[in-house]
Amino acid sequence: MKAVRVLEYGWQLVFDEVPTPTIAADEVLVKVTSTAVNHVDLVKASGVARQVLPIDLPWIPGHEFSGVVDQIGSDVAGYAPRDAVFGATSGMGSYTEYVAVKAAVIARKPSNLSFEEAASVPVASQTAWHGIFTHGHLEKGQTILIHGGAGAVGAYAVQLASHAGANVIATASGDDEAYLKSIGASLVIDYREAKFERVLREKVDVVFDLVGGDTQKRSFLVLKEGGYLVSAVQPVSQEEATKHHVSGTMMKLAPSGDVLGRIARLLEEGTVRPDVATVYPLEEVAQAWKDIAENLPGAHGLSPRAPGAARTQSHGKIVLRVASREHDVRTRAHELYLARGAQPGRELEDWLQAARELTPNRERIDSKASTTS
């Protein structure tokens, strides 16, 4: 199978033929339709954080995917070949045609999402879920301050916290104020214009930190006693936490099919929305990485963009399309056809109808077949 690999530390990406993975008894083999780019892909490849984020070279990047189940391990129940699924990886990278993944960390793809949208969800949404609920213990009626609210993780945190009945305050660029208010923030503080600790009138119960550095340090000033400071970016000073009588945790995503399934239901009912900025074919992965690098916060030490300088891309994830668009449409048509229930004797017609509804006019894949049916 084809895969993108990093052969030595750096951002040089090569296309290689590699063996299709075999699966363990508790795994499924997924034919990947789309994957998405995360900062951590670039950080790991660069080697700057090799002490804490080691990789074995050559390395296939990628931590999330959407696709179709191809094979199931002997101990796997609940999935069958052709099921449309999505998830964060549990070992191997996802910039590839097939991924072997533990069945316990995947979930069924929400039927209202395209494969491209679905691939953008698993890492950011689960990081947000665990950050605010598992580690932040956020409850209805509490106030949460989310730093980096318009980013991939932040936007899920805003939506999930708001859905849980919390009062949501976010820091972000001023340009993102309307977007953040539309997804549930009650107050947006422009981090380029104001210091959040000077704007906030009352202390908050939870801070979810997606920025780090000085932003994290100043967060102790706005937390109530007994509150939680959760960072997805860097360790939290335990000395400062004790001094301010709060809990401080740095979290690391532990993917869970159960949590992703709950997020899938929120996506299906429209409570939570995905945000895809750009879709590139896998062959253009180098450009996708360039886009991400330009938007990495300067704190990573990798970015050509200084902290606070204007970004080149608005909010939203960058997705890589691995399978052809035709494969995507055919698979979604099959899902829609199954969801509606096949009417005996009308299978082909129903399938084609589903495909027609999902395919823009110029891309119709069934024009030949439909004239003969």
* Binding-site ranges for ligand NAP (CB under 6 A): 38-40, 123-124, 127, 147-148, 150-154, 171-173, 191, 210-211, 215, 232-233, 251-253, 295, 297, 311, 315
Residue nearest to ligand NAP (CB): 151
Cβ contacts of 20 within 8 Å, gap of 6 or more = 1, 29, 97, 98
Distances (CA, A) of 195 to 73, 225, 228: 53, 21, 20
Q: What is the three-state SS of 27-70?
A: EEEEEEEEEECCHHHHHHHHCCCCCCCCCCCCECCCCEEEEEEE
Residue 315 or 321: which CB sits closer to ligand NAP?
315
d(CA 78, CA 94): 22
Dihedrals phi, psi of 225, to nearest 5 degrees: -60, 135
Cβ contacts of 83 within 8 Å, gap of 6 or more = 68, 69, 108
- Nearest distance in Å: CB 123, ligand NAP: 5
Q: How many CB atoms lie within 10 A of CB 14?
A: 10
Cβ contacts of 191 within 8 Å, gap of 6 or more = 147, 171, 172, 173, 211, 215
Residue 232 or 241: which CB sits closer to ligand NAP?
232
**What does the block give as tokens for 128?**
């947000």
- Nearest distance in Å: CB 310, ligand NAP: 8
Residue 69 or 170: which CB sits closer to ligand NAP?
170
Residue 44 or 109: which CB sits closer to ligand NAP?
44
- Nearest distance in Å: CB 20, ligand NAP: 28
- Nearest distance in Å: CB 152, ligand NAP: 4
Residue 256 or 359: which CB sits closer to ligand NAP?
256
- Nearest distance in Å: CB 177, ligand NAP: 11
- Nearest distance in Å: CB 335, ligand NAP: 28
Q: How many CB atoms lie within 10 A of CB 258?
A: 10
The rounded radius of gyration (Å) of the Cα atoms in the chain is 22
Residue 150 or 365: which CB sits closer to ligand NAP?
150
- Nearest distance in Å: CB 327, ligand NAP: 27
Residue 73 or 213: which CB sits closer to ligand NAP?
213
- Nearest distance in Å: CB 112, ligand NAP: 23
Residue 105 or 211: which CB sits closer to ligand NAP?
211
